Amino acid sequence: MNAKEVEKLLKDVKKGETSIEEALDVLKNFPYTDLGFARIDHHREMRTGYPEIIYCAGKSVDQVKEIFRVMSEKENNVIGTRANNDMYEAIRSISGEAVYYPVARIISLQKEKPKVPESRIAIITAGTSDMPVAEEAAITAELLGNNVLRIYDAGVAGIHRLVDKLPEIRNCRVIIVIAGMEGALASVVGGLVDKPVIAVPTSVGYGANFGGISALLAMLTSCSTGVTVVNIDNGFGAGFAASMINRME
């Protein structure tokens, strides 16, 4: 339940179109629904502007399906991250409007299209292997109501691939940089733009990459100012944070 829905309910009570008992019945599961295995936070959109988002990894297909069912009944836009095709097929049995983004591993069910600002978010990857994390960031940002500029495979081993895109990148309001290996791309981009840079280390790389730790440490110790860092492979976190920045008035 969002602020607009609560406002309408209160106005209906004031006008006598809805009784107090009926309003209480609507609000009985406010601010959350207890499913036993999950407590769905219907109040989150009122507090933060965004509905609760489901992290699907580690949950069973039936659990994800039930969470989607309850949230969709409340007319919320629903996003599930780190989801698989079996989960998607189960959710499709609830609603044919569900969409699966296999590279990003995201399932979405949109009841209402968010208003999209003119400013854009740029998402840059060092290599093609970073695309799953990049698409998680990109699809998250788009579902939250943002235009996204994708620039993939523009790492420091061939920096000319980045330089010729700089005019477009500089016109964006916030930039997400995604890199594995040594994670150098975030520092390079941070030194070329006057916009906030959100760096995402990935687990892409050979043994001494340590599953993304070397890229994480490189980004955390970047000499470029204005670079902030999210967790390893956390495309969702970067896309969400970039959306919050891009939609600020």
Chain centroid to Cα 46, Å, comes to 18
36: Cβ contacts below 8 Å, ≥ 6 apart = none
Rounded to whole angstroms, the Cα distance separating 31 from 42 reads 5
User: What mean pLDDT comes out for the span 84-90?
Assistant: 95
With beta carbons less than 8 A apart as the criterion, state whether 28 and 34 touch.
no
Q: Return the CATH number of 120-246, one of 3.20.20.60, 3.40.50.970, 3.40.50.720, 3.40.50.1970.
A: 3.40.50.1970
Q: What angle do CA 149, 155, 160 make, to 5 degrees?
A: 85
148 has pLDDT over 90: yes
pLDDT reported for residue 3: 65
Provide the pairing of β-strand 227-229 with 99-101.
unpaired
Q: Model confidence over 44-78: pLDDT tens digits?
A: 777 777 777 899 999 999 999 998 888 887 777 88
- Which of 112, 117, 104 is CA-nearest to residue 238? 104
SS (H, E, C) the chain: CCHHHHHHHHHHHHHCCCCHHHHHHHHCCCCEEECCCCEEECCHHHHHCCCCCEECCCCCHHHHHHHHHHHHHCCCCEEEECCCHHHHHHHHCCCCCCEEECCCCEEEECCCCCCCCCCEEEEEECCHHHHHHHHHHHHHHHHCCCEEEEECCCCHHHCHHHHCCHHHHHCCCEEEEEECCCCCHHHHHHCCCCCCEEEEECCCCCHHHHHHHHHHHHHHCCCCCCEEECCCCCHHHHHHHHHHHHCCC
What is the rounded average pLDDT for all residues in the chain?
88
Per-residue pLDDT band for 173 (boundaries 50, 70, 90) equals very high
For the ranges 8-12, 183-187, 216-220, the lowest mean pLDDT is seen at 8-12
Domain edges within the chain? 31-109, 120-246
The model carries a pTM of 0.85
Q: Model confidence over 15-52: pLDDT tens digits?
A: 888 888 877 777 666 667 767 887 777 777 777 777 77
What share of the chain has pLDDT > 70, as a percent? 95
